[in-house]
Amino acid sequence: MGGVAWTEEEDHLLKKCIQQYGEGKWHRVPLLAGLNRCRKSCRLRWLNYLRPNIKRGNFAEEEVEMIVKLHKLLGNRWSLIAGRLPGRTANDVKNYWNCHLSKKLNALEADQEADQEGSQISKDVEIIRPQPRNIASSSAKKRGLGESQTDQALVQQENDTTTIDADGKNHLVETQQDMMMYSCLDQQGMVGGGEFPMDFQLEGFEAMVNGGEGCSSSSQWNWDDLLLDMDLYNDFSS
DNA sequence: AACTTATCCAACCGCCGCTAC
DNA sequence: AGTAGCGGCGGTTGGATAAGT
């Protein structure tokens, strides 16, 4: 491993601590839990391994497509990408990308470049980076969080990070990252008009992951999700 | 069976932005 | 205004394991 592996006992202590005191205040967790780990290790272990509802195992085809498309949009914003994949962590997504997708896509791009030299299509796709916007402070205040965060608020905060529930239908946009993402999408003219102007230029990859069938209806990315989220954001920020 | 190479993924590190003082 | 402390993020590392020779 990249460091010292966590023992079952350590996991148990951390779980117990989080259950008792809630998430957040990570600097206190090592002390409260009696762990000889730094705050970051505790947080990472919880987020990537111990947190409830973490999905393990192979990525579904739909998840892979989502990752590819979001990566086209957002670049290496793994936490944002993971936020759209229920049960997946940023670390999982990042590892999966580095191990599987980056190689596939590189090979694919190399092929495409050879095939259609001079094509501007892929070069015109601009990766969205969050632009500075003071959303966080106001949203935090509106949520009544901060110094007086209660355990309940922390639980709520945890729930808020889930934008798609198990059946992929319910959405909540509360996190700073989501807001920034949508503000960026807004700036790029990608949401709000009911039209999504950008063709992701992934037909080749989709054909590959769909077994050569092109983009199947079941694997279509549901942009209504994003539009709905944007509406929620507008309501929230107004 | 023994060894080498490739792959996977949990954990760590350093940096950044935000907040409180 | 400056600064320390914190949470969070992305990049990287390296041990475990699988696959290949």
User: pLDDT value at position A85?
Assistant: 86
Whole-model pTM: value is 0.61
Tokens 């905060």, located at residue: A157
Amino acid making up residue A136: A
A100 in the same domain as A38: no
| Separation of alpha carbons A227 and A198, rounded Å | 15
Distance (Å, rounded) from C-alpha A133 to C-alpha A145? 19
Which chain B positions have some atom within 7 A of a protein CB? 7-14, 17-21
The answer to whether residue A37 sits within a structural domain is yes
| Residue A208 confidence (pLDDT) | 38
Residues A199 and A154 grouped into a single domain:
yes
Residue A180 CB: number of other CB atoms within 10 A? 20
Is A201 (CB) below 7 Å from strand B? Answer: no
- Through-space separation of residue A188 CA and nucleotide B17 C1' in angstroms: 23
Of A17-21, A82-86, A217-221, give the lowest mean pLDDT range.
A217-221
Q: CA-to-C1' distance for A105 and C15, Å? A: 28
Q: Is residue A26 part of a domain?
A: yes
Answer yes or no: are the C-beta atoms of A146 and A140 closer than 8 Å: yes
Total count of domains within chain A: 2
How many C-beta atoms lie closer than 10 Å to residue A46's C-beta? 18
Q: Which domain holds residue A30?
A: 8-50
A116 pLDDT tier (thresholds 50, 70, 90): low
The interaxial angle of helices A176-187 and A61-74, nearest 10 deg, is 70
Whether A66 and A39 map to the same domain: the answer is: no
Note whether A39 and A71 are same-domain residues.
no
Which tokens is A92 given?
Answer: 């999982």
With respect to residue A99, please indicate whether it lies within any of the assigned structural domains.
Answer: yes
pLDDT digits (tens, 9 = 90+) for A174-210: 344 444 445 444 444 444 333 333 333 333 334 433 4
CB A129 within 7 Å, strand B: no
- Same-domain pairing of A15 and A103: no
- Residue A3 in domain: no
Higher pLDDT, residue A216 or A95: A95
- Looking at the fold, whether A65 and A45 belong to one and the same domain comes out as no
Answer yes or no: is A2 within a domain.
Answer: no
Q: Residue A65: pLDDT band by 50, 70, 90 thresholds?
A: confident
On whether both A41 and A88 belong to a single domain, the answer is no
Q: Are residues A28 and A146 in the same domain?
A: no
Q: How far is CA A98 from CA A67, A120, A161, A234, in A?
A: 12, 26, 24, 35
pLDDT, averaged across chain A: 61
Query: What are the backbone angles phi and psi of residue A13, rounded to the nearest 5°?
Result: -60, -40
Decide if A143 is inside a domain. yes
pLDDT band at A20 (very low <50, low <70, confident <90, very high): confident
- CA pair distance A215, A168, nearest whole angstrom: 20
Q: Tell me if A56 is assigned to some domain.
A: no
Selection from A95, A8, A83 nearest residue A58 by Cα: A95
Largest Cα separation within chain A, whole Å, is 60
Query: Are A198 and A227 within one domain?
Result: yes
Let me know whether A35 and A86 are in one domain. Answer: no
**Token pair listed for A57:** 């195992």
Give the CATH number of the domain where residue A41 resides. 1.10.10
Place of tokens 């501007």: A120
Length of chain A: 238
Rounded mean pLDDT, A27-52? 88
